[in-house]
Structure 1
């Protein structure tokens, strides 16, 4: 469905037939990527500004998907990261309403399963309202735990439907894609690798098997030092 580029002025507010995709609130940066070359960038916000990390999703196909909106002044098309048939992008949003739109294979698109807003020229954009977002607190978690222990809601056996087995696997958390071994070495001293992100520590990464060889890598920390170990494993039957 091809539509015209958006304008910032909006009027009528309407809702799509489906509900808006569940927003995942996680992290403090924005994940952008094209193909497997994902990278993290910081979203520029005024110092001390109250922001909400927001995950945008596109689940309607395409090869190259970008997103733009009022959160960046419609000035930049940010590439979304692909995982299976879905695309995601994380941005820090200031509280309030934000319009956005997707660019799918060079066509302006809006997600029909997310909230929509029509501007004065009749263009339809998606929007999200994070004015009243409140992070979960320990008190909320305690209440949920009490609900789980309610005798009126006992544990039971549940046989998943066949559709559960055909779904795409859950996407890998964006911050785990920044593998230190995939980064270019510094130009000053090639013997030293950049400092890895703490969330990537103690995770075992492996490459696809090529020429009968699998390469595995893991990074550990001891006090202020980081050690990355690489294992080369020859597959059985390889020459």
Structure 2
């Protein structure tokens, strides 16, 4: 009986080994204590913060560019007709309030910061709404005639470039208050040729063609008498 049990155990072992060899496949061999485990199970976690940081930087750049593109542009409104008090209003402020124009010699002027795009506007002159016939007009949905203005970014590219240049030129942070060059505490020693020579015996204006000229002026009542003395040298 002991042999029978051992033979059964052996047969069972052979069947199990045959079943494993035919019915299953060897899985990936992973050593849990190896350093490769961190890359296998945490590879996506390592890349995730980097991708998130790149996304945040890209989003901030996009927001900055959108803000630059959405900058309000200074727009001049001018009324050249007659009037004592002139205001302007339009679709840029939903026609809610009237912006006063300042009188400038023969016309009225106002500078308003408007976003880029198309805007309708109208003037309020001495209590009456009117439009400027010399400027482009459009008929609104209500049938009223309004002036229209187109604010484009390309119209201000030159001014933007000049503003950037002026900011670069006005940046004096890199310049120091002291002139460039080395500094030391040694006293200045003049060179031999820089030393002053002794003065001449006679001033140069008294010598001419080897002749010394001396003069003396005397006053007699309302007249002056000048005496010259020539002496060869």
TM-score normalized with structure 2 length: 0.37
Name which one, 1 or 2, has greater alpha-carbon Rg.
2
More helix by percentage: 2
More strand by percentage: 1
Tell which has more relative contact order, 1 or 2 (C-alpha 8 A, sep 6+): 1
TM-score normalized with structure 1 length: 0.37
